[in-house]
Amino acid sequence: AQKVTQAQTEISVVEKEDVTLDCVYETRDTTYYLFWYKQPPSGELVFLIRRNSFDEQNEISGRYSWNFQKSTSSFNFTITASQVVDSAVYFCALSVPQGGSEKLVFGKGTKLTVNP
Amino acid sequence: NAGVMQNPRHLVRRRGQEARLRCSPMKGHSHVYWYRQLPEEGLKFMVYLQKENIIDESGMPKERFSAEFPKEGPSILRIQQVVRGDSAAYFCASSPALGQPSYEQYFGPGTRLTVT
């Protein structure tokens, strides 16, 4: 069975601080995909990144960066110089291709509040 | 190129009524996933459909819930005899066929169902 744990339920920071959102996943499969989604107060889900299990290279996109470490089964997300617009709930998700399905298993989310 | 469309965006039903949620995938996508987000929870997979076929319904409640994706028209998630516990946000996501280079799930804006 697959599982995603986001231990941080809520985080509050002041604008311009760096913040790291933790994600730990569980799967026995060797082929899998990891995702991060952002859900702003308006409620839609915004795709941020998809990473496959064979690519441990860290990724940077503007103020966002992701640290994938298979040794610790973690896929952490860092926002540098946070802004008020970053306030949202962030979900980490895992999918394991099985039987033609790639359903996503989501963590419970981390609510990030960036205060001015 | 329109994204994933869901309607209605908000739906209010009294206990015992039926709820029908519609999802039109992105153009060219033939796969649809439905997820449910209960208050203060992450998203939970419900069902995965291809045109005219249910591929994976392992997340669907055994009773009152059904889904279809006909050859023509949107995918429909149907909830019969709704109860207060069905109040949630229901998201659908569409994807191209497996094996496509940029395979990922694109989420619609969600339907917020309130049962009174």
pLDDT digits (tens, 9 = 90+) for B15-62: 999 999 999 999 888 899 999 999 877 899 999 999 889 999 999 998
Nearest to A101 among B41, B55, B89 (CB): B55
Rounded to an integer, what distance in angstroms lies between the CA atom of residue A96 and that of residue A93?
A: 10
Rounded to an integer, what distance in angstroms lies between the CA atom of residue B97 and that of residue B51?
A: 11
Rounded to an integer, what distance in angstroms lies between the CA atom of residue B77 and that of residue B28?
A: 21
- Which SS3 state, helix, strand or coil, does residue A72 take? helix
Cis peptide before B8 (omega within 30 of 0): yes
Query: Which of A6, A45, A110 is the best substitution to test chain B (most B C-beta atoms within 10 A)?
Result: A45
Calculate mean pLDDT across residues B4-18: 97
**What pLDDT is stored for residue A99 in this prediction?**
75
Q: Given CB atoms, is B55 within the 8 Å cutoff of chain A?
A: yes
Chain A positions touching B29 (Cβ under 8 A) are none
B38: which residues sit within 8 A by CB, 6+ positions away?
A: B44, B88
Residue A70 in this model has a pLDDT that exceeds 90: yes
* pLDDT tier, A100 (very low <50, low <70, confident <90, very high otherwise): confident
**What pLDDT is stored for residue B99 in this prediction?**
58
Pairing of strands A110-115, A104-106: unpaired
- State the average pLDDT for chain B: 91
Does the beta-carbon distance from A50 to B104 stay under 8 Å? yes
